[in-house]
Amino acid sequence: SSTMIASVISKILPNRMRTFAQFIIRNICEETDPLLHYKVRPVLSISHGMGCLLSIMLHELIKWLLPTPGCRDVVLFRIGTSGGIGLAPGTVVITDKAVDSFFRPQFEQVVLERAPACSAELSGFPTVIGNTMCTHDFYEGQGRLDGALCSFSTEEKLEYLRKAHEAGVRNIEMESTVFAAMCRVCNLKAAVICVTLLNRFEGDQISTPHDVLVEYQSRPQCLVAHFIKKRLGLIA
């Protein structure tokens, strides 16, 4: 996932001001790999890599963030991309419940009461609340046919996706379970918000032009930015 701050800057500022802003907003973890870590006033934005790398970042973040004096009312968002199931590309999915690859509900994902309201106040892209299927594998675990290994047919893939869709699953990704589970154990408010880049019923490869993908990826960031502004009292 792109960091929210850098992406918002890239979207709204001309090139000269973008360069200056990125120069000023220093990555405070620049001496370490693999994190990018930006802070602007009360907003902390971190890239975490793919899959279970997220858990490493969360352990460190929670371990050092929560005991910090003055740190209170923490809200965490995971902003990302996903493969939609029965959804048009560009749809933003707010995760209501995370489900593992065998369709067993793992926990209730905390959906902030204002997140759906924020999406309603923004125009230009569809937003749904639905179940997210979290897998441990980028290819076969997601029912993809385009990996180096594939042990099932197209018909089996579609049946797999149909069962997921019937269970209420609307997108597939790799981070929601560990993110929401850790936040729940630590009693932190949290939400997973992803944009779908393709409908998995229609294929595994993305053919959307790059500029359209860039706009798609800005959608969950715009929603979260809107939420932050309302939370800080910057907008009504």
Q: Where are the domains of the chain?
A: 77-231
Q: Tokens representing 204?
A: 């595994």
Between helix 176-185 and helix 53-65 the angle, nearest 10°, is 20
Q: Tokens representing 115?
A: 């997140």
Helix (H) or strand (E) holding 16: helix 15-24
What CATH architecture is 77-231? Answer: 3-Layer(aba) Sandwich (3.40)
In this structure, are residues 40 and 115 in contact, taking their beta carbons and an 8 Å threshold? no
Residuewise pLDDT in 10s, the chain (236 residues) = 444 444 444 444 456 655 655 655 666 555 555 566 777 788 888 877 676 678 888 888 888 877 888 888 888 898 989 999 999 999 999 888 777 654 444 444 455 566 767 777 877 788 988 889 988 888 998 899 999 988 999 999 999 999 999 988 999 998 888 888 888 888 888 888 999 999 999 999 998 999 999 999 999 988 888 888 888 888 87
The per-residue pLDDT for 105 is 42
d(CA 138, CA 79): 18
Task: Give the other-Cβ count within 10 Å of 174's Cβ.
Answer: 21
The residue with tokens 């749904």 is 128
Task: Give the other-Cβ count within 10 Å of 188's Cβ.
Answer: 17
In this structure, are residues 26 and 106 in contact, taking their beta carbons and an 8 Å threshold? no
Residues in the chain: 236
